[in-house]
Amino acid sequence: MTIQPYHTALVTGASSGIGAATVRKLRELGLEVHAVARNKERLEELAAETGCIVHAASVADCTAMQKIFENTDIDVLVNNAGQSRTGNIANTTEDDVDALVDINLRAVLQLTRLALPGMMARDRGHIINISSIAGHYAFAGGNTVYHATKAGVHSLSQQLRCDLFGKKIRVTEISPARVETEVFGRLIGDMEEAQRRFFAEYDSLLPEDLANAIAFAVSSPQRMNVSFMEVLPTMQVVGGLNFAKKTTGTP
């Protein structure tokens, strides 16, 4: 059974983690789902499992993304694809800055730009942006550029609701804390070490938790817009305050 009035969805970063879980959930709800990611092999496995339609391409490839919207009316856009890096702005590289901005922010802006004309013409649609608590809180050890791009996604989500005032197009921002995905393994280059360091002794969120949150927002009555959802593990808290001691001779 299709979630009225939605019929189709596009999910980015769909080859693993939150994206793959979201594809599975939206297919369960009866939507035709277009899955976008660079890993063609994983996408084909997901297609065999769920019946989704795959697009093996980078979200940073505007030409490839535009072709999807030219051929399909997308009702639900899930901007999930993202990258991170270790380090802060003082020790990052030019390539790291460009990669994070390209995937985490520029691609979200471009996909939203491509999706909106059709949604506005049909007067129906739902844009779901997966941001991060890193876009709302500063904490030691976080990558500066990652924080900045996720803050941009938060600002975009807020402004979109103003831009779409009077239209039956909903905007949802979902801001998760630590989720047990492959991103940590990619950061340190060792999946087993990441599992031991970040997850073995902690109750973290699972990708399915975020997929269920997305499904809740999408399947809510049309009169209702779940505008912002912050999702944390029960045993995790955000925020904090640190003071550095004065060095000798500091007035």
Catalytic residues: 146
Task: Retrieve residue 81's tokens.
Answer: 């694809």
Q: Which long-range contacts (CB under 8 A, 24 or more apart) does 34-41 make?
A: 34/8, 34/9, 34/10, 34/68, 34/72, 34/74, 35/11, 36/10, 36/11, 36/12, 36/65, 36/68, 36/81, 37/12, 37/13, 37/81, 39/15
Distance, CA of 129 to CA of 154 (rounded, Å):
8
**Phi and psi torsions of 223, nearest 5°:** -75, -10
Which residues sit opposite 8 in a β-bridge? 32
What sign has the CA pseudo-torsion 219, 47, 207, 147? Answer: negative
Residue 214 CA to residue 226 CA, distance in Å, equals 10
Q: CB count, 10 Å around CB of 91?
A: 9
